[in-house]
Chains A and B, each alone.
Chain A
Amino acid sequence: MGNGIQSIHPFVMFFYYLFVGFYAMFFNHPVFLLVGCFALVAVNLTHDRGSSMKQWLPMMVGMTLLIILVNPFINSRGTHVFFYFRGKQVTLEATLYGVVTSMSLLMILLLFISLNLVLNGNKILYIFSRILPKTAFLIMLSIRFVPLLKRRLTEIQDVQRLKGRTIRQGSIRNRAKSGMAIMQILLAWSLEEAIETADSMKARGYGTGKRSPYNPFRLTKVDRQWLVYLFVLFIISVIGGLLGYGKIIIYPKLGTLHLYSLDWVVFASSMAIILFPVFVEGREQLKWKYSA
């Protein structure tokens, strides 16, 4: 599962996540958002049958419920009053606003779970390196150091523990002292080792001129087609949204929730954006089954 989407060029995926993120914050019609959430659940299911979504489930449910329940009680704007709680009015508008906010956040959370699976590690750095090449290079260098530092830290801890310096036992004061000592060794040691790293960079010509970054991904014809697909639909959705479709008025007085025919057009085009990974995956499946 999820092989189809991994072969899509990171740039296409980048725009996909950008557009869906935009969608989640731009539209506020509850139907739009609710169906958007379901669509993203479907997208996550195609990635890994929802196993990473499961890990986040308690967090997602908790957050949604919390916002829906708490918002009406701390926010008393709106005109349709349900009842009074400790002298403050609890309104329909505030309740609905809570629902909309929580779903919009839920969508973004789902989006990040998917992003984490698809644009992992080097793909995200690759996108970065096109926008901010120096920063991306620096990030790469720093990530490289993490496992090194971790290994050195365990080694130092092993040695210092036998000298009675440990952060696992003793008074807080002593633990803090030991921690500082351990950090001091780690820093001195790593700085010294880093000299060799710098030498190795110099020996391979770092800093002799402009770098020409290696490009591990190639934009294929299919990628270009999907990119056009996403952009066209996105433009339709944005124009629709600017004209007021897919949006509702909540404060000060709740407007209509009715969906007009043009609302449906905007709805369809934005759904087509969100479900893009499902289409990719489906196409892949069909090809596998019927091409031979």
Chain B
Amino acid sequence: MEVFRLNEVSFSFPEEEQIVLQDISVTINEGEFVIIGGASGSGKTTLLKLLKKELRPTGDLKGDIVFRGKPVEEWDGKRLIEQIGYVFQDPDNQIVMDEVMQEIVFGLENLGYSNFEMRKRVAEMVHFFGVEDLLRAKPSELSGGQKQLLNLLSVLLMKPRVLLLDEPTSQLDPVAAKELILMLERLNKETGMTIVLVEHRMEELYAMADRVLFLEKGRVLYNSTSREVIARVYQDETKQLLAYLPSFSRLYMEFESNPILDSIPLTVKECKQWIGQDAKEQAVQPTVPGKAESSPFLLQMEDVYYRYKIDAPIVLKNFHLTIRKGEFFSLVGGNGSGKTTALRAGLGSIKPQRGKIWFEGREIGKMKDSEWLGKIAYLPQNPRTYFLQQTIEEEMLINHAHLKAEEAERRMNDLLETFGITHLRSRHPYDCSGGEMQKAALACMLMSEPDLLFMDEPTKGMDPISKQQLGELLTHLQKQGLTIFMVTHDIGFTAHFANRCAMMFDGEIAADGTPNELFKGNYFYTTAINRATRETRQAEVLTYEEAVAIWNVHETI
């Protein structure tokens, strides 16, 4: 049975010429797991919001949207709210109440259910999710993954027929993201719930999706099963979508001499089977840390201990880290391992209870503000926190009164050019998209020619194409002499662009080395393609690009 049928749906925002969605005709059947992909601004979120009547943006909508045989407009409001559940991107913003229990019954309260019904549903669903111990907690005490699970739970209590999710994992670390996805798969398989999921991080979704939909500039580009979409992308040579495909499927399409549709690998397991297990046991190469480089130290942290309150657990203990000039360093680790605290200590935002931090050989705590201002830059997770002026141009010039006007002007133009945001110079920063705002903030910081750039999760919620662009930009800046300190969950990004990385665990640095030394051979803390190529007949690789570079043997497969 059809859950949704869209008939030539077009949509545009008022007073804007650009059409957001154009002639979309899609059917979603009962019990299907559909994923929708596409670059930022391709209209994915708008499409999803159109399906949920209450969230429909104001604008010009043409065509009909039919829900279970009846146009959406003819449905009773309350029934529709119940039957179509919606989970948003940000885990925090969706939570309304100050107690988990109050939050999950929020929807039922609004719809006027009896206390009997609420208790019954809560008892059942909470048990299914296994979160009994969280009921009395406050949302602010939960981790991001737990918050998103709570949001899912509070929607599910209304017993929806279809679940719409807008990038629910974009703000989560890989382990929490995986957990949420597995929960969705379980719901789909065990209860037959229809699920429509908009996502950027699609690598693991192809295996569970019944259908993959790609949008581009408001039009449906592909709408078919996972394998067919992959094959079609290669057939049509749709280059811009390659980055959205699972990397092991790309290996297959690239290296298999005559690819067969049904054997395109979608999981690590299938990929391993295709490459073939290695017959002879490979001697485990003990990883030897590379020889020390000779460039001088820029940032040194020695024996740092930190806790937020006297009776709170220790976040950093015996923390040692040295960063040399010109390095692109990436710090990875699970939630709560102390990554962000380490970064804040490096910034000088918090003063460690024990240990010392040196910047350019001088202790940070003893320096005057004026001595380091401009030498350290910090790109936060949300670049919105950076801007104060009305336009990007003003923001770039404001702190540089000491420079000659034409010198500042010249530097600004150079930076705008490098970042490709010249057309945004007179725009208000808040009117830019997330990626543009990030670039603008980075450009503003580089005006003072800093030595060291700190970044906190710069790739969070980014589509693969923007990620690639950001990585190339950072590599370019590194070549010009900028030292980069990045904290991230994104192992793929780290493996591709960083030249040194460290893994944090329990307040300490557990391992420190090049991406190759650190990630090869791990079970979870590595890229999917590494898992797929380990212990196979081919050389173990970390990124797709590495495979393309070093596998040159079509005939062995």
A interface vs B, CB < 8 Å? 121-122, 140-141, 143-144, 147-148, 152, 155-164, 166, 169, 181, 184-185, 188-189, 192-194, 196-197, 199-216
Question: Does B385 have its Cβ within 8 Å of any Cβ on chain A?
Answer: yes
Inter-subunit contact A212/B109 (CB<8 Å): yes
Given contacts A208-B78, A214-B102, contact A162 B347 (CB under 8 A): yes
Q: B residues 375-429 with Cβ under 8 Å of A?
A: 376-378, 380-382, 384-388, 399
Measured between beta carbons, the chain B residues less than 8 angstroms from A212 are 109, 112-115
Inter-subunit contact A144/B78 (CB<8 Å): no
Question: Does B311 have its Cβ within 8 Å of any Cβ on chain A?
Answer: no
Query: For residue B158, which residue of chain A has the nearest CB?
Result: A204
Q: B residues 9-46 with Cβ under 8 Å of A?
A: none
B506 to nearest A CB, angstroms?
A: 23
Measured between beta carbons, the chain A residues less than 8 angstroms from B556 are none
Given contacts A201-B96, A214-B108, contact A162 B388 (CB under 8 A): no
Query: For residue B99, which residue of chain A has the nearest CB?
Result: A122
Alpha-carbon distance between A141 and B96 when the two chains are bound, in angstroms: 6
Measured between beta carbons, the chain B residues less than 8 angstroms from A143 are 98
B102's contact among A140, A147, A205, by CB below 8 Å, is which? A140
Given contacts A157-B349, A159-B378, A205-B107, contact A185 B114 (CB under 8 A): no
Inter-subunit contact A211/B109 (CB<8 Å): yes
Query: For residue A209, which residue of chain B has the nearest CB?
Result: B112
Query: For residue B110, which residue of chain A has the nearest CB?
Result: A205
Contact size class for B? 35 or more
Alpha-carbon distance between A194 and B430 when the two chains are bound, in angstroms: 15
A206 to nearest B CB, angstroms?
A: 5
A199 to nearest B CB, angstroms?
A: 6
A213's contact among B89, B109, B151, B376, by CB below 8 Å, is which? B109
Question: Does B220 have its Cβ within 8 Å of any Cβ on chain A?
Answer: no
B101-122 Cβ-contact flags toward A at 8 Å (1 or 0):
1100111111111110010000
Measured between beta carbons, the chain B residues less than 8 angstroms from A207 are 110
Alpha-carbon distance between A101 and B81 when the two chains are bound, in angstroms: 57
Inter-subunit contact A144/B54 (CB<8 Å): no
Measured between beta carbons, the chain A residues less than 8 angstroms from B376 are 162
Inter-subunit contact A189/B112 (CB<8 Å): no
Inter-subunit contact A155/B382 (CB<8 Å): yes
Measured between beta carbons, the chain A residues less than 8 angstroms from B112 are 209-212
Alpha-carbon distance between A238 and B96 when the two chains are bound, in angstroms: 43
Q: B residues 123-142 with Cβ under 8 Å of A?
A: 138-140
Question: Does B369 have its Cβ within 8 Å of any Cβ on chain A?
Answer: yes
Measured between beta carbons, the chain B residues less than 8 angstroms from A148 are 92, 140
Query: For residue A211, which residue of chain B has the nearest CB?
Result: B109
Alpha-carbon distance between A192 and B52 when the two chains are bound, in angstroms: 21
Inter-subunit contact A197/B96 (CB<8 Å): yes
Inter-subunit contact B90/A208 (CB<8 Å): no
Q: 4 shortest A-B CB distances, which residue pairs?
A: A204-B107, A147-B140, A200-B94, A205-B110
A138 to nearest B CB, angstroms?
A: 11
Measured between beta carbons, the chain A residues less than 8 angstroms from B385 are 152, 155-156, 159-160, 185, 189
Inter-subunit contact B388/A189 (CB<8 Å): no
Measured between beta carbons, the chain B residues less than 8 angstroms from A194 are 93
Alpha-carbon distance between A164 and B85 when the two chains are bound, in angstroms: 45
Inter-subunit contact A203/B110 (CB<8 Å): no
B19 to nearest A CB, angstroms?
A: 23
Question: Does B86 have its Cβ within 8 Å of any Cβ on chain A?
Answer: yes
Measured between beta carbons, the chain B residues less than 8 angstroms from A200 are 88, 93-96, 151
Could you list 12 further interchain pairs (A-B, Cβ under 8 angstroms) beyond the known A163-B386, A200-B93, A200-B95? A122-B98, A148-B140, A158-B347, A161-B347, A189-B382, A192-B384, A193-B90, A196-B90, A197-B95, A204-B81, A204-B106, A211-B112
